[in-house]
Amino acid sequence: MIKLLIFDVDGTLTDGRITYDSNGIEQKSFNVKDGMAIASWTKKFNMNAAIITGRTSSIVEKRSKELGIQHLYQGIHNKDEIIQSIMKKLNITWSNVACIGDDLNDYKMLKKAKISFCPADAVDDIKNICNIVCTKNGGAGTAREMIEYILQYNDMDDLKSLWV
């Protein structure tokens, strides 16, 4: 059973673009359908989620809090080490983990996870190793697609009724 979802940010929860305004303030756009699915996973279903990203952004911290994501790690270059720590805290193994990523810095976690996902516009090397290549591009509902798949995979029909 999948008990932990791990998300990369840029290129998965966002379309991968990083925009700065004239004052140098960073902007990101997140998909509301992804947010609904993640918040349901964490708040309604009481399941664990993590964001592990190589960049650091106050926007990601704010979004993480809104969605009830319990584990947020930014500025990370060794995602493996962080995931091992989270799994130890939760007393789970890789067989309980699903990950989504889009680029080479996500390679190791995607290879180790029980189920790995990537957006339709992920780099080819990542598409080639993932169990599921989503039909949507990064930032366009891939997290929602992932969670809907996990609910079916986990045979969580009783939780599906909580969507409404």
pLDDT tens digits, 39-97: 999 999 899 999 999 999 999 999 999 999 999 999 998 999 999 999 999 999 999 99
Distance between CA 149 and CA 89 in Å, rounded?
A: 25
Domain boundaries, the chain: 4-18+26-163
42: which 2 tokens? 């964490």
pLDDT of residue 158: 56
**End-to-end distance of the chain based on CA atoms, in angstroms?**
23
pLDDT mean over 139-155: 91
**What pLDDT does residue 154 have?**
77
**Could you tell me how many residues make up the chain?**
164
CA 130 from centre of chain: 14
pTM of the full structure = 0.92
**For residue 155, is pLDDT > 80?**
no
Write down the pLDDT at residue 157.
59
How many angstroms separate the CA atoms of 90 and 81, rounded?
A: 15
106-112: long-range contacts at Cβ-Cβ below 8 A with a sequence spacing of 24 or more? 106/8, 106/79, 108/79, 108/80, 109/6, 109/52, 109/79, 109/80, 109/83, 112/80, 112/83
4-18+26-163: CATH number:
3.40.50.1000
Q: Could you count the other beta carbons within 10 Å of the beta carbon of residue 155?
A: 9
| H/E segment holding residue 111 | helix 107-112
What integer is the mean pLDDT of 100-115? 96
Q: Is the pLDDT of residue 161 over 80?
A: no
Instruction: Give the pLDDT band (50/70/90) at residue 159.
Output: low
> Parallel, antiparallel, or unpaired for β 19-20 and 26-27?
antiparallel
Q: Is the pLDDT of residue 6 over 90?
A: yes
pLDDT of residue 160 exceeding 60: no
